[in-house]
C-alpha cells in the first residue's frame, strides 16, 4: 500500500483549481458542460460561421446518431483496483503521447477566431497533445508548426486532382516536422449541407481564406493571377481540385511511394475497407463519419468501431472520431478498439469564445474528466481499458446482466 497521504493527477488538479477559484468568486472562463459550451459559442459567432461549424449533412441524422451510439454502451466500474497513480500515456505510430486525445483537423478556422490554427497550435503546445492540421487551414502549415514548437503534429491531406499540389503539400509537411500524413477519404465532394446552402455560404473566402493553399508554390503556379489579387479565382480553382472522386485503392501506392511518413486513412466505417487499408500497408485508420457532415443517414461512427477494430486486429492502428464530448465517451471508444480519439467541434467552441486559452481550457477539462473517469472505473492505465468494461444497453439505456 502507498504511504503517501495525498495524491494528485491532472483531473484532481483541475478540479481543485476550479473549486479554489470558485471560493474566490471566480467562475471558470468557459462553461464546463459541453452542451452549454456549444450554446455559448453560438452567441459569439455570426450565423453563417455557426451554421458551417455546427451543421451536418442533410437532416443532421448522422450527427445525432453519433451521440446516441455512446448512450447504448454502459460502463461497469470495478472497485479496489489501486488506481491512485494513473498513467494516460499511449503509443501512437511509434511515439508516446500524453493522453489518447488529439485535436481533429478542422478547416478554415479564421471564421471561428482571427488567430485561427495558430491559436490551436498554441493550445496543443500548452497541453502537450497532438494536433492534426487540415490542408484547408487558414494559416500555412509552416506558421502553425512554428507556433506549436516541438509538439507532436500530423498533417491531414486532401488528396486532390493536381498531383503537383499534393506532392508539394506532403513535401512541406515533411520539411516542417509533421510526423504523419492523414488522408481524408470521405470528402470526395462536399455533401449536401442545408444550412450552408440556405446561407449561400462557402467559408473559404472569409477571413484569411485558405492560407495553407495560398502559400503553396504548386497551387500558386496553377493560377493565372496570385490569390492576393484574385481570391475568387483561387477559391474556384481550389473548389474544382481539392479532392478527387476518381481515386481508387490502387492509387494509394502513388502516395506510399511519395513519402516515408506513416500514412493514416481517415473516414473508414466498413470492415472491408479496413482490411483493404491493412493490405495497402498504411499505418493506421481513423474510424469516422466526419462528425456527421458527409453522408446523411450514415451509421454512427461508434457503431462501426468494434467491427472495424476486429477486422484489422493488430495489423494497423485504429483511431476514432465523431461525437466525442466527455471523458466517458473516450473510455468507451478505447474499450471498443480505438488507440486514441480526435476531438472536433468542442475545441472550436472554446476557440470561438477565448482563442488559444479557450481551446486549451476545453481540452484540459476533457482530459481531466478522462483521468478521473478512468480511475473511477478501476483502471490505472489505458491498457486497462478493455471491452470487459462495457455492457450493451437497449434503447432505454437498460442493460441485461
Ligand atoms: C467545421 C469543420 C471543418 C472540418 N474540416 C475538416 C478538414 O478540413 N479535414 C478533415 O479531415 N476533417 C474535417 N472535419 C472533420 C473533423 O476532422 C472530425 O472528423 C469531426 O469534426 C469529428 O466529429 P466531432 O466534431 O463530433 O468531434 C471538419 C469538421 C468540422 C466541424
Ligand atoms: C474542403 C474543406 C472541407 C472542410 C471539411 O472537411 C468540412 O467542412 O467538413
Residue 2 lies in a domain: no
Is a pLDDT exceeding 50 seen at residue 1? no
Do the annotations mark residue 52 as ligand-binding? yes
Residue 311 lies in a domain: yes
Residue 395 lies in a domain: no
* Cα(342) to centroid(ligand 1), Å: 9
Q: Please give the grid coordinates belonging to residue 124.
A: 496543443
pLDDT tens figures, 146-191: 999 999 999 999 999 999 999 999 999 999 999 999 999 999 999 9
Which bound ligand lies closest to the C-alpha atom of 264? 1
Is a pLDDT exceeding 70 seen at residue 399? yes
Is a pLDDT exceeding 60 seen at residue 62? yes
pLDDT band at 209 (very low <50, low <70, confident <90, very high): confident
Q: What is the ipTM of this complex?
A: 0.99
Residue 105 lies in a domain: yes
Residue 343 lies in a domain: yes
Residue 4 lies in a domain: no
Percent of the chain's residues with pLDDT above 70: 98
- Report whether residue 105 contacts ligand 1, using a CB cutoff of 6 Å: yes
- Report whether residue 213 contacts ligand 2, using a CB cutoff of 6 Å: no
H helix or E strand, kind and range, residue 43: helix 34-44
Evaluate whether 291 touches 323 at the Cβ level (below 8 Å).
Answer: yes
Residue 110 CA to residue 113 CA, distance in Å, equals 5
Residue 255 CA to residue 279 CA, distance in Å, equals 15
Which bound ligand lies closest to the C-alpha atom of 242? 2
Do the annotations mark residue 178 as ligand-binding? no
CATH of the domain at 282: 3.20.20.70
pLDDT band at 193 (very low <50, low <70, confident <90, very high): very high
Structure confidence at residue 7 (pLDDT): 62
Nearest by Cα to 276 from 321, 316, 243, 314: 316
Is a pLDDT exceeding 60 seen at residue 204? yes
pLDDT tens figures, 280-336: 999 999 999 999 999 999 999 999 999 999 999 999 999 999 999 999 999 999 999
Catalytic residue list contains 290:
yes
pLDDT tens figures, 93-112: 999 999 999 999 999 999 99
Residue 199 lies in a domain: yes
User: Cell 483541475 maps to which residue?
Assistant: 14
Range list of H helices, 83-183: 116-127, 141-148, 163-175
> pTM for this one?
0.98
CA dihedral 333→339→345→351, nearest 10 degrees, is 130
Evaluate whether 379 touches 81 at the Cβ level (below 8 Å).
Answer: yes
pLDDT tens figures, 116-126: 999 999 999 99
Range list of H helices, 242-394: 252-258, 271-279, 301-312, 327-335, 345-376
Do the annotations mark residue 148 as ligand-binding? no
* Cα(107) to centroid(ligand 2), Å: 6
pLDDT band at 28 (very low <50, low <70, confident <90, very high): confident
User: Cell 476514432 maps to which residue?
Assistant: 320
97: left (phi over 0), alpha (psi -120 to 50) or beta: beta
pLDDT band at 256 (very low <50, low <70, confident <90, very high): very high
Structure confidence at residue 166 (pLDDT): 98
Nearest by Cα to 14 from 327, 347, 346, 379: 327
* Cα(371) to centroid(ligand 2), Å: 31
pLDDT band at 207 (very low <50, low <70, confident <90, very high): low
| Mean residue pLDDT across the chain | 96
Q: Across 117-260, where does the E strand assignment appear?
A: 131-133, 153-157, 181-184
Nearest C-alpha to atom 2 of ligand 1 is from which residue? 106
Nearest C-alpha to atom 4 of ligand 2 is from which residue? 107
Using the 8-state DSSP alphabet, how is residue 399 labeled? B
Rounded to the nearest 10 degrees, what angle do helices 345-376 and 327-335 cross at? 70
pLDDT band at 2 (very low <50, low <70, confident <90, very high): very low
Residue 78 lies in a domain: no
Backbone angles phi, psi at 378, to 5 degrees: 95, 20
Please state, as a whole number, how many other Cβ atoms lie within 10 Å of the Cβ of residue 22.
11
Which bound ligand lies closest to the C-alpha atom of 105? 1
Nearest by Cα to 271 from 260, 279, 283: 279
Split into its structural domains, the chain has a count of 1
Could you list the residue range(s) of the whole structural domain that residue 66 is in? 10-72+84-385
Pocket test for ligand 2, best of 293, 294, 344, 348 (most atoms within 8 A of CB): 293
Backbone angles phi, psi at 176, to 5 degrees: -105, 20
Is a pLDDT exceeding 70 seen at residue 6? no
* Cα(175) to centroid(ligand 1), Å: 25
Nearest by Cα to 97 from 382, 350, 370, 320: 382
Structure confidence at residue 345 (pLDDT): 99
Residue 125 CA to residue 106 CA, distance in Å, equals 17
Amino acid at each position: 500500500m502507498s504511504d503517501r497521504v495525498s495524491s494528485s493527477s491532472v483531473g484532481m488538479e483541475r478540479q481543485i483549481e476550479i473549486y479554489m477559484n470558485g471560493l474566490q468568486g471566480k467562475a471558470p472562463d468557459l462553461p464546463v458542460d459541453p452542451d452549454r459550451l456549444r450554446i455559448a459559442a453560438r452567441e459569439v459567432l455570426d450565423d453563417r460561421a455557426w451554421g458551417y461549424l455546427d451543421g451536418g449533412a442533410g437532416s443532421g441524422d448522422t450527427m445525432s446518431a453519433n451521440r446516441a451510439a455512446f448512450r447504448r454502451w454502459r460502463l461497469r466500474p470495478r472497485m479496489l483496483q489501486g488506481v491512485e497513480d494513473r498513467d494516460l500515456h499511449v503509443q501512437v505510430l511509434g511515439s508516446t503521447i500524453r493522453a489518447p486525445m488529439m485535436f481533429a483537423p478542422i478547416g478554415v478556422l479564421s471564421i471561428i477566431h482571427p488567430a485561427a490554427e495558430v491559436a490551436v497550435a498554441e493550445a496543443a503546445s500548452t497541453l502537450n497533445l497532438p494536433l492534426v492540421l487540415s490542408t484547408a487551414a487558414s494559416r500555412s502549415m509552416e506558421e502553425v508548426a512554428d507556433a506549436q514548437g516541438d509538439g507532436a503534429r500530423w498533417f491531414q491531406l486532401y488528396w486532390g486532382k493536381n498531383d503537383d499540389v499534393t506532392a508539394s503539400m506532403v513535401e512541406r509537411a515533411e520539411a516542417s516536422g509533421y510526423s504523419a500524413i492523414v488522408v481524408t477519404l470521405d470528402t470526395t465532394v462536399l455533401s449536401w449541407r442545408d444550412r450552408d446552402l440556405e446561407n449561400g455560404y462557402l467559408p473559404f473566402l472569409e477571413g484569411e481564406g485558405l492560407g495553407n493553399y495560398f502559400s503553396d508554390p504548386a497551387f500558386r503556379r496553377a493560377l493565372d493571377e496570385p490569390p492576393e489579387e484574385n481570391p475568387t479565382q483561387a477559391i474556384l480553382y481550389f473548389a474544382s481540385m481539392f479532392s478527387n472522386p476518381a481515386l481508387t485503392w490502387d492509387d494509394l501506392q502513388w502516395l506510399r511511394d511519395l513519402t516515408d511518413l506513416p500514412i493514416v486513412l481517415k473516414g473508414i466505417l466498413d470492415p472491408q475497407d479496413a482490411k483493404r487499408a491493412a493490405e495497402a500497408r498504411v499505418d493506421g485508420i481513423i474510424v469516422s463519419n466526419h462528425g456527421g457532415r458527409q453522408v446523411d443517414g450514415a451509421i454512427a461512427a461508434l457503431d462501426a468501431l468494434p467491427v472495424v477494430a476486429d477486422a484489422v486486429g493488430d495489423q494497423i492502428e485504429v483511431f476514432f472520431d465523431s461525437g466525442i464530448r466527455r471523458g466517458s465517451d473516450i473510455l468507451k471508444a478505447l474499450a471498443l478498439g480505438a488507440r486514441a480519439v480526435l476531438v472536433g467541434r468542442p475545441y472550436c467552441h472554446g476557440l470561438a469564445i477565448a482563442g488559444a486559452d479557450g481551446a486549451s481550457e476545453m481540452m484540459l477539462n476533457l482530459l481531466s474528466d478522462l483521468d478521473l473517469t478512468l480511475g473511477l472505473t478501476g483502471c490505472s492505465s489505458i491498457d486497462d481499458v478493455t471491452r470487459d468494461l462495457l455492457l450493451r444497453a437497449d434503447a432505454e439505456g437498460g442493460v441485461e446482466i
